[in-house]
Amino acid sequence: MKQQQIFATFFAFICGSMAWGQGVGSPVHLSYHWHMHQPIYWPEKLAGAERVQFAAESYDLKAKQASFYPRSPVQHPENNLASGDIGSYDPIFSNADRVQAYQLGGKDSISTLFRFEDAGASISYSGSLMDNVWSWGKDDRIGYSPRWNEGYSEARRWQTRGGFPRADMVGFTYHHSLSPLLPKSVLTKEIRLFKEAWAKSWGGRRDFSDHSKGFFPPELAFSETLIPVLVSEGYEWSFIANGHLARSCSNYLEKNIAPMHSTSTWNTNPPNRADQLNSAVPAEQWWSGSIDGRGAKVPAPFAYQPHWARYIDPETSKESRMMVVPADEVLGYVNGYSMMGTETIDRKIGPFSDSRHPSLVVMAHDGDNAFGGGYSYYHESVPRLASEAEQRGYHMTTIQQFLRDFPVPQSDVVHVEDGGWVNPEGDWGDPQFVKWLYPPARSPRDPKYNDKDPRTFIDIENGFSSSWRSWAVITAGANVCETAEQMAGSADHRVDRAWHFYLSGLDSGFMYYGDSLDDEVKQSLAVNRSLFYAREVFARRDLDLTPPTVFKPQRWPYNPGGIGWGVTTHYQDVGTQGRPSYDPDFYVWSLVYDVSGVKSAIVKVRTSSTSNDRFTYRGGPDVGAWVSYPMNHRMIDTQFTGDPANSRLNYFIRPEVIADHYWAKVSGYHDVFLDYYVEATDDHGNVSKSDISHVWVGH
């Protein structure tokens, strides 16, 4: 009898172990995300049509010597679009790996995972890429077929155990626009345009009832200000970079976790105390990793668990919530560039996992670049890692299946710091998106520039950067389109065309590369073509009820009265190793434009706390009264043709509209939390208010 009991206990243990490794109870789950994108490379009107050129059309125009512009000696776009084109880099669309990845590569890869009942991948495939591939495929050119979309359409119909797509074609913006820096009206247009392209390409329903519930923000650039737009468009969860959960933990900067000089794991400004609102995680649960000298420091399991994030409307106090799914910045990068095993998961993540709230390791990376875009990745690396993971007792899954199996408790609400993914390159993860928005900076020729003092490199009042100038054009274009729609209605053909051309200039890569090739003029080209249509409805300026468009307020320095690091300090320390810290006085700056003219702009500032009172304009007992700071402003020269300090810039297309630069210096505070926002009024008295931002000012 005793032997039978021992055997029964042993048999139950073995069965339980098998179920733990194969079922939903596994404490570590793994999933893939593949990102696919190419922009509208030249947002110019196609002759004989009222739309922009797609890639094959731009290629053909260059072949016909039909893409020259005044003040430029070369044809445009300068990008090498395919074999036979003229350009400085390898051909883009004729690359064999991309030809496969954009058509059948992902589908074929997912088919190798059929023996795992929940395995699959999520895929972000931009709308602009869909139309570019269509432009080649409709004529069977350079390897693309008229049936280019059938691979992912079929894989989307393959289902997990719970009936969810094995290929989850998640939500995205049509033009790969940097979502946190867009006006909410523009982000809404981008998503709705994407959903139309999504339904057309993947055989989706016209009412979008079968659209994905997930969203992948371009560049993984997330901000809680996105939440109300995403929720209103039907999304239930969004990917985030897990480094921004880590940086929001109250003990992130402790010397045994991520000290200031741990530059092998991050190359950005340290977090501001106003963002470090999540609970501390014990030091032994943190781990760091890097590849090519770039990495992150994250805690397990906290940075590997979906949570809820929220946004509170500052005017109405209405709360919007959505789930946030962390993507692993280190392992995602590793997975996209090399064969990968489970060693790091075994040592750094698995030991801390909780079967009641399991860890989810999402390996997110480009699906069309480097190793992650090739045959070895899709056909060898993906199934090999899945097999090893299952052998280790882990479980391959899709995001939607995981969220069904393990609902996020309603009480699990976290704060997510703004920013994109840190790991792929230094400064991508900066909470002010400096890779796409470098603040106005001094030229080395400026007498106030001091290469030995990193505090002198940024000049908010008089400086220049190409990405800053590009956002000024984008801000003006948004107001043009918003005003045209308000005057004539969204059904007006001219308004529709104005939006169409404007949106085509928003690709985040144009700001990321900035002075590369002709990226610095693409925003101007798009906005100028948009104006052609919008001007027709501007005859009655007295009908303008649209308030000014206010660019997301920025501050400098990011940590007033504190420390700094990263590209904006030329990788020199500020506030450590005996160097002076930043002054507690700081600038709040923005870009503001209105079709009818801007009458005034002010920064409103108040003392604050970490209570909910900080989220609304009306405040409460835990915050102070608003104090107004009038903003100075300067015009940005539309006739500017280049930067003497940067010979690669050539503004041969000049914007017909551009926002002015506004700033105010906030003084007299130290050792205190502050709230601030920008309020702008146009010449008709229409008023706009930005979202409220929060900062800790040191001493």
Domains of the chain (ranges; CATH) run 23-38+93-405 (3.20.110.20), 41-92 (no CATH), 454-697 (2.60.40.10)
Q: What angle do CA 358, 359, 360 make, to 5 degrees?
A: 120
In angstroms, rounded to a whole number, what is the distance separating the alpha carbons of residues 303 and 175? 29
Per-residue pLDDT tens digits for 187-230:
999 999 999 999 999 999 999 999 999 999 999 999 999 999 99
Share of the chain above pLDDT 90, in %: 83
Per-residue pLDDT tens digits for 510-528:
999 988 899 999 999 999 9
User: Nearest-CA neighbor of 430 among 236, 685, 438?
Assistant: 438
Per-residue pLDDT tens digits for 253-284:
988 787 665 445 667 899 999 999 999 999 99
Residue 6's pLDDT band, with cuts at 50, 70 and 90, is: very low
How high is the pLDDT of residue 355?
86
How high is the pLDDT of residue 26?
78
In angstroms, rounded to a whole number, what is the distance separating the alpha carbons of residues 449 and 456? 6
In angstroms, rounded to a whole number, what is the distance separating the alpha carbons of residues 108 and 155? 9
In angstroms, rounded to a whole number, what is the distance separating the alpha carbons of residues 309 and 414? 5
Q: Which of 366-370, 427-431, 663-667 has the highest mean pLDDT?
A: 663-667
646 SS3 class: strand
Share of the chain above pLDDT 70, in %: 93
In the Cβ-directed half-sphere of 650, how many Cα atoms lie within 13 Å?
14
* CB within 8 Å of 438: residues ≥ 6 apart: 465, 466, 467, 468, 514, 567, 568
Question: What's the pTM?
Answer: 0.95
Q: Answer with the residue of higher pLDDT: 591 or 354.
A: 591
